[in-house]
Amino acid sequence: MEEHSSLKNNKTVSFDESLNLREQFDKYFVNWKWFVLSLFISLIIAFLYLRYTIPQYNAKATILVRDDRKGNVQSELTAFSELGIIKNMKNNVDNEIEIIKSRNIIEKAIQKLNFNIKYSAEGRVKNVELYKDSPFEVSFFETNDLFYKQGISYKIKSKSPSSFELFKNETTSIGVFNYGQIIIQPNGKMVVSKKPLSKNEANKSLIINVNVIPLDNVVQSYLSRLTVAPINKNSSVVELSINDPVAEKAEDFLNKVIEVYNQDAIDDKNIVSKNTQDFIDERLKYITQDLGDVEKEGEVYKTNNRITEITEDANLYTENSASFEKSLIETETQIRVINSMISYLNSSAVDDIIPSNIIPSDSNASLMIIKFNELITERNRVLTSATIKNSTIIALNDQISNTRRSIKESLYRLLESLKIKRNDLKNQEQSLNSKISQIPRQSRELNNIMRQQQIKQSLYLYLMQKREEIGISLAVAAPNAKIVDYAKGSKSPVSPNKMFILLAAFAAGIVIPFLVIFVKDLLDTKIKNRQDIESKTNIPFLGDIPKSFTQDEIINASSRSSSAEAIRIVRTNLEFMLNNVPDGVAKSIFVTSTLPKEGKTFVAINLASTIALSGKKVLLVGLDVRNPKIDQYVSIPSKGLTNYLSKQNENIDDYIVKLDNFDNYYVLPSGVIPPNPADLLMSPKLKDLFEKFKREYDYIIVDTAPVSLVTDTLLVAKFADAFIYVMRANYLDKRLLRVADSFYSEKKLPNMAVLLNDTVWRRTYGYGYGYAYGYGYGYGYGYGADADNEPQKKSWKDKLRKKQ
C-alpha cells in the first residue's frame, strides 16, 4: 500500500466530487466547429425567412362607444328630450365590442370595399399585393352567388394601350379585349379599366394577377386578425387594430368597419320610429278620405236645407251641451284609437314593434308599449352576436310575451272604461236634448254631421303631429360610436421582427449543438477518461494508452507512435509499484480486465516487448486458458501451459519459445483449451513453475482471464507482484467500475492499478494526464489498442485527423 500512496501522491478520490467546470467548458469548446456551423446555418435560415416573408403592418383606430355603464356620455341632442324623441339607450361596451367583431359587420365592410378581389404582381419567389397601386381596376356587376362562394383567378396582360389579354386560372386564355368592354363570366359580368400610367409604365408589358376569393374565406381571415379591446376596464374608449401586408388597406378596412357599425346602430335605434311612421301613414290614408266625406256631407246638407245660422235659443242650449259634446268627441276618438291598437295587436306578429305615442300618455298601456318596444330592440341587437338558444334571448322572449299580454289586457280595460264614459256622456246629452226638443231638426242633424267632422279632423291632426315628430327623430339619430382617431397604419412592419428573428436564430445556433452534445453525453454511460475512473473508484491510476495511427501490433526499437510512448511511460510507472520486489527475483506483472475485448492481451504483449527492448529477460505467460489471444499477435505453437499442467514428466522449457527480432523476449503459450481450466490453475505444478520463472527471468508478464466472467484470475492472483487492470475507453460501462473497485477494496488483486486503454485525444481537462497530454507525443490520437487489437474500421474523423 505504500507504493499505492506514492503513486497517487496521497490523493483519495471522493465519490461525491464536485463537477469540474473547466472540463464541462472544454467538452463543448472542442466541438466549436459544430457551434460555428450551427450558428451559420441558423443565421442563413433567419436571413432567408426575413427576405421572403411578407411583412405585416399594423393599423389602429380609436372610437368612443356611448355607454351609460362605463362613464355616461352627455347626449348632444338634449334639445329633443322634451319631445320624448331621444331615448336613453344604454350600451354595454363589452356587447358593443362583440357586435363590432361580428361576422355581419365584417362581411358588410368587406363587400363595400370589394376586398374579395385581390390584385398582385408576380415576383420570383413571392407575389406582391398592389391594392390601389394596381394599373388595372376590375369591376364586377350583376353578380350571382358564385361570385361570393367560388374562388377564381385571372391574369391580365396588357397588349396595347387600348387592349389586354385575359387569362383564367392564370393559364387558360379567354381572349383579347378592349379596356372598358363588358366581359361575361359564369359569376357575373366584369369590366377591366386602365388607370392613368406614367410614360415609362405605359410602354411596359404589364401583367397583373386578379384573384376573386370566396367571401367566407376573406371574412374569416379578417375576423382572425381583427382585435377590438377597450383602452382600459374603466373606459368606453375602444381600440381597433389589425395586421395586413398593405398598411393603407388595413386603414380603409378599420374606417369602413366603424362606418358600418355606426350605420347598423342607427338602423337599430330607428326601427321603432320607422314602424310607427309606416303605421301612421297607413292610417292617414283612411282618415283623410273619411274627413273629406264628412265635410262634403255637411256642405250638401246645408245647401239642401238652406241653413244659414242657429237661433239664439238654439245657441244657448247648444252652448250648455258643448261641454258634453266635447267630452264625447274626445272619448269617441280615444275609443277608435284603442280599437285600432287592439286590431293591430291581433293581426301583427309577436315580435313586431307596437306603434307608440298614439294612445293617452298617462295610461299604463302607453308605458308598457314603450317597454315592449325597448325589449324588441334589445333582443334584435343581441341576436346579431348570439343564437336563439342563448339564455339572454330566451329570457327576453319571455319578457316580450308577458309584456304583450299585459298590453292587451290594459287596452281592453281602458276600452271598457271609455265605453262606460261614453255611455254616461250620451245619457247626459239625451237628457239635454229633451230640453231642446223645440230646436229644429235641421240643427240637430247638422250638429251630428259636424261632430263626425270634428272627430275625423281631431284624429287627422293628431296623426299629422306624430308623423312630424317621428320624422324629426329619424333625422337627428346619433351614431353609437364617436371616432376619436381615424385608422392609421405603421410606417415600418411589425412582423417579422427582424431583431427578434436574428436573436432567436443566434440563440438556436448556440443552443441546438449544446443540447445535442449535452443529450449525447447524458445518454453515454461509457468511461471516457481518467476523471471518470477516479470519480467513482479509489484505485490508483497507472496511465492510459491512446489510439495510434500506426498499424504496428508489437512495439519494437524503432516504434515512435503515441501508443509506444505511452506504454514506455506505463513501464516506468510500474517500477514505482515494484520497489518492494527483492533483487535477483523476477517481477511478476499480471494483466486483467473486467470484460473481454478491452485490450489486456495487447497491453501484456507490448509491455513485455518494451521491457525486453530495455535489455531485461522477459517471459510472457498466457494464463487466459479459456480464450487465448496471444497467437493473434505472434506466431507461436498451439501447445503450451495447459499441455504441461495436464501431463506428467514434461519439461516446461520445451513449450517456451523465443520471439524473433528480440534478444530477451520469451513466450509461454496458453496451450490447448482444456475442459477443466480452474482445476489446472489450482495445480501445485503452477506454483513450482512461477518459482522457477522467478529465478530464470527478470520480468514475468502474465495475460489472465477477465475477472467478471470466470474465477481463473483470482486463483492465480497470489503469484502476482502487481496487477494491471485494463479498462477500455468508450467500451466499458461506468456501472461496471464498482466491479474493479470491489476487487481493490477487498484486496483480492494485490498491488492493483488501472490502465485506461484506447483513449481518444481531447484537450486536457486540468488533470495533467502525464505522458499522453502533458508532453504531446506528437502524432495525434486515433487508432490503436482496442479489443485485443482486433482490426477496426477507420471513421471519417480518424481519416481527417490522420491527414492533418
Kindly report the length of the chain. Answer: 804
CA distance 612 to 658: 11
What is the C-alpha separation between 614 and 523, in angstroms, rounded?
44
700 CB-side CA count, 13 A = 26
CB 642 within 8 A of CB 674: yes
H or E stretch covering 441: helix 441-475
Residue with the bigger pLDDT between 241 and 441: it is 241
Cα 186 versus chain centre, distance: 40
- Could you give the C-alpha distances from 506 to 35, 45, 496, 515, in angstroms and in order? 10, 11, 16, 14
- Cα R_g (the chain), whole angstroms: 55
User: Which residue shows C-alpha cell 385608422?
Assistant: 487
Using the predicted structure, report yes or no on whether residue 621 has a pLDDT greater than 90. yes
- The pLDDT, as a whole number, for residue 496 is 86
| Strand partners for 208 | 156
Chain-centroid distance of CA 406 in Å reads: 55
The amino acid present at 217, given as its one-letter code, is N
Cα separation, 731 vs 729, in Å, equals 5
Question: What local confidence, expressed as pLDDT, does residue 550 receive?
Answer: 56
Residue 329 has pLDDT above 50, yes or no: yes
Distance CA 327, CA 338 (A): 16
DSSP letters spanning 751-796: TEEEEEEEE------SS--TTTTTTT-SS-S-SB--GGG---PPPH
Q: How far apart are CA 31 and CA 23, in angstroms?
A: 13
pLDDT in tens, 466-491: 888 777 776 666 677 888 899 998 88
In angstroms, the Cα distances linking 212 to 136, 184, 781 are 15, 15, 68
Residue 600 pLDDT exceeds 70? yes
| Residue 204: band (very low, low, confident or very high) from pLDDT cuts 50, 70, 90 | low
Residues 6+ apart with CB under 8 A from 36: none
Q: Three-state secondary structure along 543-561?
A: EEEEECCCCCCCCCCCCCC
Tell whether the torsion through CA atoms of 277, 279, 280 and 285 is positive or negative.
Answer: positive
Going 509 to 511 to 514 to 520, the CA torsion angle's sign is negative
Closest-CA residue to 510 (of 21, 36, 24): 36
Is the pLDDT reported for residue 311 higher than 70?
no
Cα distances (angstroms) measured from residue 35 to each of 32, 39, 41, 762: 5, 6, 10, 17
Which pLDDT value is given to residue 306? 56
pLDDT at 96: 87
Cell numbers for 785, please give them: 489498442
Q: Mean of the pLDDT values across residues 220-229?
A: 92
Residue 66: band (very low, low, confident or very high) from pLDDT cuts 50, 70, 90: confident
Task: Say if residue 11's pLDDT is above 70.
Answer: no
Phi and psi torsions of 496, nearest 5°: -75, 150
- Give me the helices (H) in 476-538, please: 498-523, 530-534
Asked if the model's pLDDT at residue 25 lies above 50, the reply is yes
Torsion over CA: 111, 112, 115, 117 (sign): positive
**478 CB neighbour count, 10 Å cutoff:** 16
598 vs 364: CA distance, rounded Å: 106
Q: Residue 778 — left, alpha, or beta (φ > 0 → left; ψ -120 to 50 → alpha)? A: left
Half-sphere exposure of 165 (CA within 13 A, CB side): 10
Q: Name residues whose C-beta falls within 8 Å of residue 125's C-beta, 6 or more positions apart in sequence.
A: 52
Q: How far apart are CA 467 and CA 472, in angstroms?
A: 9
What's at 470, amino acid-wise?
I
Phi, psi (deg, nearest 5) at residue 725: -100, 105
Q: Where are the beta strands (DSSP E) in 37-122?
A: 57-65, 117-121
Beta-bridge mates of residue 666: 619, 658
Q: DSSP secondary-structure letter at 104? A: H
- Determine the average pLDDT of the residues in 630-644: 88
Mean pLDDT of the chain: 79
Q: Which of 38-52, 67-81, 176-190, 593-607 has the lowest mean pLDDT?
A: 67-81
Show the cell assigned to 693.
520463472
**Checking phi first, is residue 796 left (phi over 0); if not, alpha (psi -120 to 50) or beta?**
alpha
Q: Which three cell numbers stand for residue 273?
A: 320610429
Which of 67-81, 409-423, 509-523 bottoms out in mean pLDDT, i.e. has the lowest? 67-81
pLDDT tier, 799 (very low <50, low <70, confident <90, very high otherwise): very low
Whether pLDDT at 86 is above 50: no
Asked if residues 66 and 261 have their Cβ atoms less than 8 Å apart, the reply is no
What mean pLDDT comes out for the span 441-459? Answer: 77
More confident residue, 443 or 599: 599
Band of the pLDDT at 540, cuts 50, 70, 90? very high
DSSP 62: E
Look at residue 178 and tell me whether its pLDDT is greater than 50.
Answer: yes
**346, 475 Cβ separation under 8 angstroms:** no
Which residues, listed in sequence order, are joined to residue 210 by a DSSP beta bridge? 119, 154
Chain centroid, CA 242 distance in Å: 19
Cβ pair 357, 482 in contact under 8 A: no
Residue 775 predicted with pLDDT over 50: no
Three-state secondary structure call for residue 307? coil
Residue 778: HSE in the Cβ half-sphere, 13 Å Cα cutoff: 7
With a CB cutoff of 8 Å and minimum separation 6, the contacts of 505 are 42, 43, 45, 46
Give 46's Cβ-side CA count (13 Å radius). 19
Q: Which residue has the cell 485485443?
A: 788
Quote the distance between the C-alpha of residue 101 and its chain's center. Answer: 22
| Residues in CB range of 713: below 8 A, 6 or more apart | 590, 592, 623, 704, 705, 706, 707, 749
- Interatomic CA distance for residues 469 and 270, integer angstroms: 13
